[in-house]
Amino acid sequence: MSSTPIPGTWQIGDDPGRRQFVELKSGDQGFSLEGGGSLSNVTVAFETWGQLNYSATNAVLVLHALSGDSHAEGPSGPGHVSPGWWEALIGPGASIDTDEYFVVCPNVLGGCQGTTGPSSPAVDDAPYGSRFPVITIRDQVAVEVALADELGIGKWAAVIGGSMGAMRALEWSVGYPERVERAVVLAVSAAASAEQIALCSLQVRAIKSDSAYANGDYYFTGRSPISGLSVARGLGQLSYRTEHEFDVRFAREAQGEEAPLHGGRYAVESYLEYQGEKLTRRFDANTYVVLSEAMNHHDIGRGRGGIAEALNTVRARVTVAGIASDRLYPLGQQLEIARLLPGDQEVHVIESEFGHDGFLLETEAVGNVVRAALDQ
């Protein structure tokens, strides 16, 4: 379904992909950020499906992961090089039924698909580049709160996300408990672990070590750190999938007629190169850095007495789900979240050979979890 206008001060943009835009401001000083910086104003790109009811009680917030954007549902085309990343879950009669719910999916703060990020113009009309401030998951949610206010949504019927999107769903539930009726958190931890920080930091180093990176100010150089971004994506892809899947799909096979012993590539090497090159065609390297570092700062218990105390304040009905084969966010981390939430929580375990990416690829199983949560 196409985006449905609702009353408000925001405008429907003419940008390809049916994105809509709102200019947000937060006080005289703009948005004060957790790391000490600020942004004078923020533009948020978002897409909607369905119709907001008169009492504004049927709104569902869907939150994307690291390399996603507002295009959760819909075909590829101008403005979107691929179909919606959760297309099977959103629509009339789908798990998130747009005949019943008004679905909102914003591009995250720090993004590169219409929401203010490092490639956006600063007050001097030049891209922020290296001047873009440090942001956290809490800062991203603060912007989403301002967006909800602008749309006239006082309380979400549900906030749903996986991976980085689930970090924000948890942050919504802890930081704004009165504004979330239900939450679905998939494939996430309550705080970034040392290994998760290490993996993200290596990806950041790969980008920054590219000679074209220019300390983040590459927008006017005629070059872009596509090599570094491609390597970063390859590292990420390795952690998103599983050893078993790689063995089944690639084993030790050569790529086509290439001879690895004589300088050619193995098939798995070609796959990782392809995934990296594909991302460079639609994603900004600085955004990858900024969002990766925001994920490293993820800690639901920071300044709240620790994880246990923070999760104990949640009022929403939370559905926790994990992927059995996830080696990036192992199942034990979802079990910890469920154990520390109020009440007797269970973890819905999704079987998949795809590891962490199972929250995107196992659409039937994930859809069943989401539908059951909304039907509570």
Which amino acid is it at 46? Answer: F
245 and 230 part of one domain:
yes
The CATH number of whichever domain residue 258 belongs to comes to 1.10.1740.110
Residue 180 lies in a domain: yes
- Structure-block tokens of residue 236: 């990420």
44 and 163 part of one domain:
yes
Res 17: pLDDT: 52
113 and 153 part of one domain:
yes
Res 295: pLDDT: 98
Q: Among 262, 295, 328, where does a domain finish?
A: 295
Asked if 105 contacts 47 with a C-beta cutoff of 8 angstroms, the reply is yes
Residue 262: active-site member:
no
Specify the range with the lowest mean pLDDT, choosing from 9-13, 120-124, 172-176.
9-13
- Structure-block tokens of residue 322: 């994990």
185 and 200 part of one domain:
no
Residue 227 lies in a domain: yes
Res 79: pLDDT: 75
233 and 362 part of one domain:
no
User: Band of the pLDDT at 81, cuts 50, 70, 90?
Assistant: confident
| Per-residue pLDDT reduced to its tens digit, 307-366 | 999 999 999 999 999 999 999 999 999 999 999 999 978 999 999 999 999 999 999 999
> pTM of the prediction?
0.94
Specify the range with the lowest mean pLDDT, choosing from 10-14, 224-228, 229-233.
10-14
354 and 214 part of one domain:
no
Bridge partner list, 185: 161, 320
289 and 304 part of one domain:
no
Q: Among 295, 316, 338, where does a domain finish?
A: 295
Residue 8 lies in a domain: no
- Structure-block tokens of residue 232: 């970063």
Helix (H, G, I), strand (E, B) or coil at 73: coil
Distance of alpha carbon 279 from alpha carbon 45, whole angstroms: 20
Res 77: pLDDT: 78
Residue 356: CB atoms within 10 Å: 28
Q: Give the chain's radius of gyration (CA, Å).
A: 20
Closest alpha carbon to 43 in 91, 111, 128: 111
Closest alpha carbon to 153 in 59, 229, 236: 59
Asked if 34 contacts 146 with a C-beta cutoff of 8 angstroms, the reply is no
**Any residues with CB less than 8 A from the CB of 373 and at least 6 apart, and which?**
158, 160, 182, 184, 317, 319
| Per-residue pLDDT reduced to its tens digit, 21-73 | 999 976 666 789 999 999 988 999 999 999 999 999 999 999 999 999 999 99
Across the beta sheet with 42-49, the strand order is 20-24, 42-49, 102-106, 59-63, 158-162, 182-186, 317-323, 347-350
**Residue 157: phi, psi to the nearest 5?**
-65, -30
Res 223: pLDDT: 95
Res 12: pLDDT: 36
Which amino acid is it at 74? Answer: G
Residue 35 lies in a domain: yes
Res 241: pLDDT: 97
216 and 244 part of one domain:
yes
The CATH number of whichever domain residue 122 belongs to comes to 3.40.50.1820
Residue 305 gets the label, from left (phi > 0), alpha (psi -120 to 50) or beta, of: left
Q: What angle do CA 317, 169, 89 make, to 5 degrees?
A: 85
Average pLDDT over residues 133-147: 98
Distance of alpha carbon 48 from alpha carbon 133, whole angstroms: 28
Q: Among 268, 295, 322, where does a domain finish?
A: 295
Asked if 107 contacts 44 with a C-beta cutoff of 8 angstroms, the reply is yes
Res 78: pLDDT: 75
Res 284: pLDDT: 97
Residue 13 lies in a domain: no
Specify the range with the lowest mean pLDDT, choosing from 21-35, 102-116, 204-218.
21-35
Closest alpha carbon to 289 in 205, 188, 220: 205
Task: Given the residues 284, 299, 326, 357, select the one marked as catalytic.
Answer: 326
176 and 280 part of one domain:
no
Bridge partner list, 337: none
208 and 287 part of one domain:
yes
pLDDT at 235 over 50: yes
Task: Given the residues 70, 95, 163, 224, select the one marked as catalytic.
Answer: 163
User: Band of the pLDDT at 80, cuts 50, 70, 90?
Assistant: confident
The b-or-e profile of 38-70 (16+ CB within 10 A means b, else e) is ebeebbbbbbbbbebeeebebbbbbbbbbbbbb
Q: Write out the residue range of the structural domain in which residue 214 sits.
A: 196-295
Residue 2 lies in a domain: no
Residue 326: active-site member:
yes
User: Band of the pLDDT at 76, cuts 50, 70, 90?
Assistant: confident
| Per-residue pLDDT reduced to its tens digit, 256-307 | 999 999 999 999 999 999 999 999 999 999 999 999 999 999 999 999 999 9
Residue 163: active-site member:
yes
180 and 35 part of one domain:
yes
Average pLDDT over residues 81-110: 96
Helices (H) and strands (E) in the chain, counts: 11, 12
67 and 80 part of one domain:
yes
| DSSP designation for 80 | B
Average pLDDT, the chain: 93
Residue 336 lies in a domain: yes
What is 116-167 written as a DSSP string?
Answer: S-TTSB-TTSSB-GGGSPP--HHHHHHHHHHHHHHHT-SSBSEEEEETHHHH
pLDDT at 15 over 60: no
Query: Domain count of the chain?
Result: 2
- Structure-block tokens of residue 170: 């948890």
β-pairing verdict for 182-186 and 158-162: parallel
Res 5: pLDDT: 35
Task: Given the residues 71, 297, 348, 356, select the one marked as catalytic.
Answer: 356
Res 25: pLDDT: 76
